[in-house]
Structure 1
Amino acid sequence: MATELEILGREDEGYPVAASLDDIEGALERAMLHLRGVHRIRELAFGIDPGPRPGVAWMGDGVLLGMAQLEHIEGVVDHIRTIEQAIEHKVSKVRIGNGAPLLRDHIINDCIAANFWMEEVNEAKTSKGLLRHNHVVSAVRIAMLRGRRVWEQRSITPTEGQLKEIQRRSRTISNGRKTISAELALAVARGELLIEEALSE
């Protein structure tokens, strides 16, 4: 890989891929696609298996191109945008499973704010036969299914059980040293704070 200036005039030497420090991930994605002979795609479809560490998969015209497990739901939009920019395509669609309602709705809201085409998929059968927490394989299955179009952001109203789960996670993350308050758990649930930020309050 090289900078854009370095590949000028050398386009006939293989398939040069321009890269910059700000776009390493995208450049690697482009290079891998070129190695696989993938150059033009009509539909780029993303599948998201929602969870604290969401699985993301991307397919080009029905062919699996890649998958990843992210560390936080906040990374979903940036990850999708990087892939979108790296792969030449005509249309893209983002599909998300309907499990983990609180996290799902956060991701949906973030994706709609980013102007992504959004669909919600019934993921009842996407985890069948999989080991628990195999989010990336579920994401592949979700990417392959057509879902119901989601047009609007959703109001996030966590249940008492969901708030308690956030508090439980805060204990786990802090190795039992701290449990965040119900008020901070609500802020985390609404996406106003990361759980790590709530722990430092």
Structure 2
Amino acid sequence: MTRVGIYTHDFKFYHDIIKELKRWNLPFFSIPDLYSIPGDINVILSSEQDPFTLPGQIKAVTATEGIRRSLPVLLNKSQFTRVIIGIDPGPRPGIAVMSDNVLMEAWECPTICGVKDDVLDVVKNYSYRYIMIKIGNGDRPNRDIIIKQLKNIAPMVIVNEENTSTPHKIHDNALSAARISLIDDRYDTSRTPVKFSRKNIYDKEFITLHSLI
């Protein structure tokens, strides 16, 4: 198992990065000194304000930026080949990031106005050769607003989001966005696991970052 190393003199960054790593459910190790770096650490997160340079170090302004930039390294890559941002349009849009067919993250944006900033952060913070946006064809009024917001940020296609909201008892917009990110024609309902819960639906249906680390 690979862990994320943390070494920084920036107390706020240290606090933020630990909080975010726990939220992402990623294993990490707080390095007490540079003579005590475990062998399972191949990336070290530090603040952009830190004056030192280390092998395998990623300096970041924010915790989320640091984590996103570390993801390829955690999967033994220098960068992802293909990143797809899936979007489930609506008043509370779902957003998901699929990198080389592995689900990195998925969340619900509180308002439609926040979609552009969220997508821009993904475009800026991930490391990749190619990136594109897939947006579901539902909720046309909100979909058209989102498309207008995201114009010229990355190549974009509209896909058939039929069946991405099933089963209704567990549906959430982030889950639909993850499904949309994988659609070429329409969502294959055979992917939906027979037994699942709200807690494990992502790990049962997708290859997730957590399952590979």
TM-score bracket, normalised by the shorter chain, equals: 0.5 to 0.7
Deviation string 1:28-83 (CA, Å, 9 cap, x unpaired) is 32245544545411111010011111110011111111111111111112111211
Question: 1:79 and 1:70 mapped to 2: Cα distance?
Answer: 8
Question: What percentage of aligned pairs have identical amino acids?
Answer: 29
CA–CA separation in structure 1 for the residues paired with 2:169 and 2:77: 31
Q: CA contact under 8 A between 2:120 and 2:153: conserved in structure 1?
A: no
Question: C-alpha distance in 2, partners of 1:130/1:42?
Answer: 33
Q: Which residue of 2 aligns with 1:153?
A: none
> Which of 174, 178, 182 is residue 140 of structure 1 equivalent to?
178
Q: How many residues align?
A: 141
Distance 2:70 2:112 in 1: 26
Q: Any conservation in 1 of the 2:69–2:127 contact (CA below 8 Å)? A: no
Gaps of 5+ in 2: 1-44, 186-213
CA RMSD of aligned residues (A): 2.2
Question: For the structure 1 residues 115 and 29, does the alpha-carbon distance in structure 2 shift closer, same or farther, using more than 3 Å as the test?
Answer: closer
Partner of 1:77: 116
Which residue number corresponds to residue 180 of structure 1? Answer: none
Judged with a 3 Å threshold, the aligned counterparts in structure 2 of structure 1 residues 69 and 37 are, in CA distance, closer, same or farther, namely: farther
Structure 1 spans left out of the alignment, 5+ residues: 148-201
Q: Classify 1:38/1:127 alpha carbon distance in 2 versus 1 (closer, same or farther; 3 Å).
A: farther
Q: Is the Cα contact below 8 Å between 1:92 and 1:117 reproduced in 2?
A: yes
Letter in 2 for 1:117: P
- 2:133 corresponding residue in structure 1: 94
- Aligned pairs for 1:52-201 (under 5 A) are 52-112=91-151, 114-131=152-169, 133-146=171-184
Contact 2:81 2:128 in 1 (8 A): yes
Q: 1:18 aligns with which of 59, 64, 74?
A: 59
From the two aligned structures, give the one with the greater helix fraction.
1
Contact 1:97 1:123 (8 Å CA) reproduced: yes
The structure with more strand, counted as a fraction of residues: 2
TM-score, scaled relative to structure 1: 0.62
Higher-Rg structure is 1
CA distance in 1, matches of 2:74, 2:166: 33
Moved over 4 A (4+): none
Shift of 1:123: 0.6
- Per the alignment, residue 53 of structure 2 pairs with 9
* Partner secondary structure for residue 45 of structure 1: strand
Aligned residue runs from structure 1 range 29-40, under 5 A: 29-40=68-79
The verdict on how the C-alpha distance between 1:127 and 1:105 changes in structure 2, with shifts beyond 3 A counting, is same
> 3-state SS of the aligned residue for 1:52?
coil
